[in-house]
Structure formats: C-alpha cells, structure tokens
Amino acid sequence: MCEGTKIYTTLGVVIVLMLVLLATAAHAESGSGLYSHTEVFAHSEAKSVMDAVNGYRSELKNGRVVYAYSRAEIGWQQGSWKFAALARYDVSVDPSRDFVRLYHLTRNKLPLPVGERFDLQLRAKQYQLAGVLVGKQWQPQAALKLRASLSLLRGSRFLDGSVSGQATIEAENDYNITGNVNYAYEKDELLDRPTDNITGYGASLDAGLTWDITPATEFAVDIFDLYGRLRWQDAPFTDAAITTDSRRIEDGFAVFDPLLSGVEGNRDFTQRLQARADVRLNQQLSAVYSLNLRYRFHPLKAVPGIGITRQLGSSKALRWNVEWLPVQQAIGAGINWRGLSLQYTASDLRFDDAQLLALRLGYIAEF
C-alpha cells in the first residue's frame, strides 16, 4: 500500500470512529451536525497562477512572490466543540526580482543582457499535510466569543530553505552562476538528488475571536498556525556552494551541470509552519445590507478587501455578497443558503490569466 493510501485510509477510520462516538452523545444539543469546509487561495505577482505552476511561459509582469494555501476539513460540530479530519497544502516562494527575470529569460530562451549581473536570492517553503483536529469555542461575555483548535498532523511532502548568489551574463545565450544553497527536502527539486520517502509529524494551534462591538458592528479575527511545527526525521538536506563551470550547449543555449562543494546528507529537521491571519469587520447598514471589510495577512503579501452583503427573503436564509480586492484588482462573489456557502474571487475573467484565485466552499447540516 502506498504512503498516500495509508494516510487516507487512516483518516477514513478516524472519521468513522469519531462519528460513531458522537452519534452516541447528546446529538440533540443545539448546533450539532456535520460540516465541511474547503478553502483554496493562490496569488502570483510576476505571472498568472497557472503559468507560475506550469513554467513561466507568459509575459513577465511586475512583482516577484508566489504563494498558495489550501485546506479541507470534514467533521462534526457538537455544541461548542468540533472534531474533524483535515488535509492541507501550503507553498510560498520569495525570490529576488533578478531571480524572477533570469528564470523567465532562460526558461523561454530569450536573449540575455550581456555584461549584466543578477542578484539571485530565493527563499521557499512547502508542506503537504493530513491529520485530525479538535476545536472549542468559549463565550466569556455575551458580545465576545473565543475559539481555538489543535491539529495533529502528518506530513508527506516538504521543502524548506534558501538559495543565494549571483549570475554574470557572458553572452546572449550563456551565463555563469556562483552561490550557496541551504535547504532540506523530501524531493530535491533543484539538483535531482535521489531520495527516499520520509514522513513528518507535528501539531498546529489556531485561534480566533468574534466581538460584537455594537449590535450593528462585528469584528472577527482568525489566526492559523499561531504555533505550528513539523518534525522530519532523517530528512535529506544540502548545504553547499554551487557553480556552473560545467556547461554544454543545447538548441543554442547553455545548459549546466552544477558543481557542488559542501555537504549532502540526512538529519532531523524541524519545520516551522507559516502563520497567517484573516481579519474581518462587518457593519450593518440596514435591515438587509451590510458593509464588509477584510484583511488577509500572509508573510509574503497582505490582501485587503471591501464588500457588500445582502440578505434576501423574510427568513433571511439566503445571502449574497460581492467583494473587491483593490491592490490585486480582483473581484469576487458568493452566496450562502441554508448552510451551503460558496465564494469565488479572481483577478481576471480568464482562469488561466488570473494572478489571484480564491475559492471557498462550505456546508453545515444541523440535526
């Protein structure tokens, strides 16, 4: 049985046992029921999201960073408690602008600026996780709700480290690179070092609050991975100086066989998960309209937004909303109806050209 199959089989058993146990509890308690939540968010400054994934083939734009996170939960809410299985994938790439330019030129085999020097800096972090979660909500005051959740995680894929150096352009189709690499990984994406599958274990703490400042004004904040660590046992790593003195010409362009001077080995590695936050301020404008301000914080880039929500029907069971992200020039729309919520945001009508993509899908079935 492959490693991925083992993970999902384990999670399936956990879900079944969890539901059986909860079914014997006081399931009639208010607020009890199944729930699911999925969120995907991706932002790429220099290219579209899809082009950043598929190889930097399109026109180069301003900016440099790329990051994405996805999270899926399915579980049970029992009063102020929740129990769930979850799967996650996070990646962040923080290169220098020169790194982005040189990668774009060489990837597309474009003429290089002879004599120019490029400052090459790159910091990258990636992890794919699965696990279980337990969460609790408290209400110390009528206007204040606090919440926290603890996740026990198992990682099956990761990369964490940096590259630094410089490149000197020798000809329109040739250049030299000198620098240093220092990174740990499950798969060596840079130098193709053969590695075995490894597994990491760890935990993460999320926290949040909702505060009714006035009957018409609500403030909420959620911090994900407020504390998060993964321990990778016997992880492959490379810590070395790198040069490109060994080269050959293919299709008119230089292709390099990098030369290393340093250490390749295995050691235990502790990876810190990147914290992010979601801050919201909702102001009721009338019986059916409300103004929504939102600030998505990520260590690489903040995304502010503003939106409007409208409630429909006498029971107000149906709500729709629109949002505008002015910095990223993205527009989104969403709907919430009888426990089902859907939100989609993009910076371009063409999916392949969007530099920001966000999708949220949730469902709550109360009993």
Q: What is the pLDDT of residues 327-340, one digit of tens each?
A: 999 999 999 998 89
Structure tokens at 34: 């199944």
Q: Which residues of 276-294 are buried (b: 16+ CB within 10 A; e: fewer)?
A: bbbbbbbeeeeeeebebeb
Quick check: helix, strand or coil at residue 244? coil
φ, ψ (nearest 5 deg) of residue 257: -110, 95
Please tell me the predicted confidence (pLDDT) of residue 366: 74
Distance between CA atoms of 184 and 122, rounded to whole angstroms? 14
Which helix (H) or strand (E) segment holds residue 142: the answer is: none
Listed by start position, the domains of the chain span 3-366
Please tell me the predicted confidence (pLDDT) of residue 245: 66
Residue spans of beta strands (DSSP E) within 45-103: 66-78, 81-95
Please tell me the predicted confidence (pLDDT) of residue 293: 98
Residue 260's contacts (CB-CB under 8 Å, 6 or more residues apart) are 191, 238, 240, 241, 242
Please tell me the predicted confidence (pLDDT) of residue 189: 77
φ, ψ (nearest 5 deg) of residue 99: -60, -45
Looking at residue 289, the DSSP 8-state letter turns out to be E
Structure tokens at 330: 């993205």
Please tell me the predicted confidence (pLDDT) of residue 252: 67
Q: What is the pLDDT of residues 196-215, one digit of tens each?
A: 889 999 999 999 999 999 99
Q: What is the pLDDT of residues 295-328, one digit of tens each?
A: 999 999 999 999 999 998 766 689 999 999 999 9
pLDDT < 50 stretches in the chain: 1-29
Q: What is the pLDDT of residues 93-136, one digit of tens each?
A: 999 999 999 989 988 888 999 999 999 999 999 999 999 999 99
Distance between CA atoms of 178 and 168, rounded to whole angstroms? 9
Please tell me the predicted confidence (pLDDT) of residue 31: 64
Structure tokens at 28: 């009639």
Please tell me the predicted confidence (pLDDT) of residue 367: 67
Q: What is the DSSP string of 314-349?
A: TT--EEEEEEEETTTTEEEEEEEETTEEEEEEESSS
- Rg of the chain in Å (alpha carbons): 24
Chain-centroid distance of CA 300 in Å reads 11
